[in-house]
Amino acid sequence: KHANVSTAKTQPRYNMKLPDMDDGVVTRFPPEPSGYLHIGHAKAAFLNDYFAHDATSGSLILRFDDTNPRKEKKEFEESIIHDLGLLGISPQKVTYTSDYFARLYELCQKLISSGKAYAEDTDPRIQALDRRDRLPSKCRDRPASESLAIFAEMRDGTALGKKHCIRARITYDSSNGALRDPIIYRFPNWGTGETPQPHHRTGWAWQIYPTYDFACPLVDSIEGVTHALRTTEYSDRNDQYCWFLEALGLRRVHLWDFARIGFIRTFLSKRKLLQVVETGRVDGWDDPRMPTVRGILRRGLTVDALRQFMLEQGPSRNLVFMDWTILWSVNKKIIDPVAPRHTAVMSKNAALVTITGGPDTSQKELRPKHPKNPAIGMKTLTFASEIYIDQCDATRIHKDEEITLMGWGNALIRAITISNDGTITALQCQLHLDGDVSKTDKKIHWLAAQDSDLGQAELWEFDHLLLKDKLEKTDQLDTFLNPVTSKMEQAMVDADCAELAEGAIIQLERKGYFRVDKATGQGPEGKMVMFKIPTGGKS
Ligand code: ATP
Ligand code: MG
Ligand code: MG
């Protein structure tokens, strides 16, 4: 038994370069442990992995950006490590922003002492308006000693402390809003009034937390990151990032912006993904309709295809909104040369064909599993005097027509039995093995009806979760959820399918590519379960 999904990395043949790449590269992938990895995260993870491990022999840090106790969980951390493994990405180190809380606190004290940050108790709404109108905060010139004392009260969670946040003293009237005295330390519920929650790693040790804007550059620098890859919506914050390092005399880090990726008829927001999981619209985070790493791999996307696709997007900085068909067609090119060919006939109204001029009892022959790739091995073809064909093929056949039975030869249709409702129940045909298979229009797949080893399978096909190409910020998710996103049909499958392990990718002749989700014996009533793999074309 084997799963034929290759995890071998594609050779680096991309030509992406970072400044000062020759002096050594340390990159980091910084997910917030607040959900499962999705296809957008995969882009960031592959790019960081590429620069650390393919373009150079540097190192990759997986850093959990855990500065928001309200959303983060250990379950998500474990799933992220696992899913990076699925993608073939092995970080040299796993770190946590929370490991640096004490250090970040000290660095904030240092910033305050040098007059580069201050404590403020302006109402959050007014603060936002002032920032918009480029007005200085009334607390901007507060003496450092006073701000330091308030910062200590914030740390202790006193009533006075709780009214405050800390802002960097950069500028209040820059045309770049990110430079207008950004908040660097706050209570997570500052301005929201929500009940505070313990941090999943540090518990109640800290009540105040550094903001992402403050923590990210500092931890990057402290951890030895040489190149920080960030999605372009952070570009406006690049100057701010550099300001923090400079203000604290920390080693500088190269910033490299890349475009966030989005897909048609797909939502990637963790909140929305959680919503479809929790309302039972899908069966879980690994449902094959989910754009999570687990979901898309389960649907039959190979890691090689995903990696190749993402690295080809690499240097572009324009927002990329992709059609799934491109990704699936990259995948098809990878699976087609290796997917063994098998046969399935739909159970519903399968038409029984009686053959004359053939074997009386069933005979077996070995045939290659792949027409062009002998390395894939051999399968058994069973010939018999009664075979099944798909109803949809049976209805297209005419009396006295010459057809080709795939892998066998030609046959002449002698009689067709049609039931009252128009279903073809039986056909009789006479083998005509001298007939020229290149002259027939209809090449039909079939299965020996007497083959006691025939398997049973559920064949599933899935559709997008969304009815709309692109969900706008104001769109309610419920309104645009596709009511029907899966279809299942029962099929009989050839005896060799019993050998297929979960994860195997095959082609069912004339039906398309499928991934085995449950091997023989593992699905409902012991049936196999197979998921149809999109190919990007009409199929
Ligand atoms: P979400 O909206 O799902 O919470 P996020 O950006 O907040 O997304 P993080 O866990 O902070 O999620 O992301 C980890 C890394 O993945 C970041 O470097 C982020 O820029 C990157 N990333 C997230 N979504 C995408 C995307 N759609 N395309 C490319 N990179 C992404
Ligand atoms: Mg984030
Ligand atoms: Mg987010």
Residue for token pair 């200590």: 152
Helices 324-335 and 303-313 cross at an angle (nearest 10°) of: 130
Cα 130 to chain centroid, rounded: 40
E strand map for 79-234: 93-96, 117-120, 165-168, 183-186, 209-210, 227-231
Cα–Cα dist 341/376, whole Å = 10
CA nearest neighbour of 515 among 297, 293, 286, 289:
297
Q: Which ligand is nearest to the CA of 212?
A: 2
pLDDT in tens, the chain (539 residues): 333 344 444 444 677 888 899 889 999 999 999 999 999 999 999 999 999 999 899 999 999 999 988 888 899 999 999 999 999 999 999 999 999 999 999 999 999 999 999 999 999 999 999 999 999 999 999 999 999 999 999 999 999 999 999 999 999 999 999 999 999 999 988 878 888 899 999 999 999 999 999 999 999 999 999 999 999 989 999 999 999 999 999 999 999 999 999 999 999 999 999 999 999 999 999 999 999 999 999 999 999 999 999 998 876 677 678 999 999 999 999 999 999 999 999 999 999 999 999 887 889 999 999 999 999 999 999 999 999 999 999 999 999 999 999 999 999 999 999 999 999 999 999 999 999 999 999 999 999 998 888 999 999 999 999 999 999 989 999 999 999 999 999 999 999 999 999 999 999 999 999 999 999 999 999 999 999 999 987 64
Number of the ligand 1 atom closest to the C-alpha atom of 262: 27
CA nearest neighbour of 144 among 108, 179, 174, 170:
108
Q: Does the CB atom of residue 272 touch ligand 1 within 6 A?
A: no
For ligand 2, the distance from its centroid to the CA atom of residue 212, given in whole angstroms, is 8
For 33, the 3-state DSSP assignment is coil
Cα–Cα dist 236/481, whole Å = 34
pTM of the model: 0.93
What is the set of active-site residues?
A: 32, 260, 270
For ligand 3, the distance from its centroid to the CA atom of residue 269, given in whole angstroms, is 7
CB 517 within 8 A of CB 448: no
Identity of the amino acid at 498:
A
Residue 119 backbone phi and psi in degrees, to 5: -90, 140
Burial class (CB in 10 A: 0-12, 13-18, 19+), 222: middle
Nearest CA to ligand 1 atom 7: 32
Find the DSSP H helices in 183-269.
Answer: 212-222, 238-247
Cα–Cα dist 394/388, whole Å = 10
pLDDT score for 359: 83
Nearest CA to ligand 1 atom 16: 41
Q: Does the CB atom of residue 43 touch ligand 1 within 6 A?
A: yes
Beta bridge partners of 27: 60
Pocket test for ligand 1, best of 29, 41, 274, 319 (most atoms within 8 A of CB): 41
Number of the ligand 1 atom closest to the C-alpha atom of 65: 11
Q: Does the CB atom of residue 257 touch ligand 1 within 6 A?
A: no
E strand map for 423-502: 424-432, 443-444, 447-448, 455-462, 486-493
Name residues whose C-beta falls within 8 Å of residue 197's C-beta, 6 or more positions apart in sequence: 69, 70, 188
Task: Measure CA of the first residue to CA of the last residue in the chain; give whole Å.
Answer: 28
CB 279 within 8 A of CB 273: no
Nearest CA to ligand 1 atom 10: 31
Beta bridge partners of 456: 492
Cα–Cα dist 528/458, whole Å = 6
Give the pair of three-digit tokens for residue 163: 């009214």
Give the pair of three-digit tokens for residue 535: 């190919």
Helices 101-113 and 212-222 cross at an angle (nearest 10°) of: 110
CB 350 within 8 A of CB 492: yes
Q: Does the CB atom of residue 31 touch ligand 1 within 6 A?
A: yes
For 28, the 3-state DSSP assignment is strand
Distances 18 to 30, 31, 48 between C-alpha atoms, Å: 19, 22, 11
Cα–Cα dist 154/214, whole Å = 17
